[in-house]
Amino acid sequence: AQSTSMLRNRSLHFYGKILRPNKTNPSTINTMMFSRNTLLAAAAAFYGASSVSAFAPSTAVGNTVSRSSPAIYTQQTASRQYSSTKLNMSSSVDLKGKVAFIAGVADSSGYGWAISKALADAGATIIVGTWPPVLKIFQMGLKKGSFDDDSTLSDGSKMVIEKVYPLDAVFDSPDDVPDEIKNNKRYSGLDGYTIEEVAKAVEADYGKIDILVHSLANGPEVTKPLLETSRKGYLAASSASAYSAVSLLQKFGPIMNEGGNMLSLTYIASEKVIPGYGGGMSSAKAQLESDTRVLAYEAGRKWGVRVNTISAGPLKSRAASAIGKEPGQKTFIEYAIDYSKANAPLAQDLYNDDVGNSGMFLCSPLARTITGVTLYVDNGLHAMGMAIDSESMSDRNQ
């Protein structure tokens, strides 16, 4: 803190005016100091009120499945003059009139859904891209209300997905689609699912969009150690999990409004060794983070669009649960969740809407100067350099 003596020798800036101490009248010092202290107190009260639990951690411990964290509302009374105020993340962000395209949503258990829900809660129009082989199942689930319990917004209404587009993000244009895919029964009756075609369809339907979310990844050899991964498997992981983000921004960037944001999802395996997360997936996530920084520069200068990624902690989504399981053992994601709880600074559950709220913040005007960032939403696990639950630490932990 600045000392009073230092402040006496400096000009004080209030609302664009410069007030200088009057040497012939020392009382002006006291008047200005009173004004300064009043403003500081008001500022402290304002920031104290506006920094309530927007990112407050989930309180339950022991859960290893995907579900929403308890809704968090905090009442604060600044003084007798002001009534109490309920604040939550969506109430402080207004995304009405904004259009968000989320690539990679096929159920309600993953981070893509959680980000969609948080954006919808703030008023954004939600449209999604879904992998063609599961498109009909997802659309049927939406029609039957299978996801209604996971669609409830803070005001009690349900999230509405305005439109679902078939999207296979490993194909940039129609010329890239091989005959084996065109003739595959899982793609039967579908067309226009390449990134280029989907971008054109979205433009025709909505004109410009404001938010682009890349929530997809695939590694056909993810259960294999890197030493056993084939070139084909390695490049497939890179194509589906990293280059797809580059291609999405290439095709959607021209139809994004200035000030928009692209968001992707990464994982700590990009920089730390995570046994069991193989097949080139760790390399793909490292590519994704590097590309985030480069794209932040290029897209920022070209379109005024921000580019960020979230390094999310482990969540037992349907996709993650599909990563190999040996008979009689837990799945990879169950091991990852248990390890995180045992070793992260915050020994608590990570819920999908913790990532959803963080994603909504990055996509909102509140983050207008934030770009090229990898934001860790993992209870602090990324900060740890030693496993405190290891056998070598057993005597210390007793």
Catalytic machinery residues = 267, 277
d(CA 209, CA 202) in angstroms, rounded, equals 8
CA nearest neighbour of 128 among 104, 98, 97, 158:
104
Closest by CA to 365, choosing from 94, 125, 132, 131, is 94
What pairs with residue 76 in β-bridges? 85
Calculated CA dihedral for residues 173, 104, 324, 180, nearest 10 degrees: -30
What's the CA gap between 192 and 166, in Å, rounded?
7
**CA of residue 13 relative to chain centroid, distance:** 38
Closest CA to 64 of 359, 385, 326, 331: 331
Q: Which residues are CB-contacts of 258 (< 8 A; sequence separation ≥ 6)?
A: 303, 304, 305
The whole-angstrom separation of Cα 314 and Cα 293 is: 23
Nearest Cα neighbor of 383 from 334, 344, 353 is: 344
CA 165, 171, 172, 177 dihedral sign is: negative
Counting runs of H as helices and runs of E as strands, what totals does the chain give?
Answer: 13, 11
Identify residue 14 by its one-letter amino acid code. F
Bridge partners (DSSP) listed for residue 103: 129, 214
Side chain identity at residue 202, one-letter code:
V
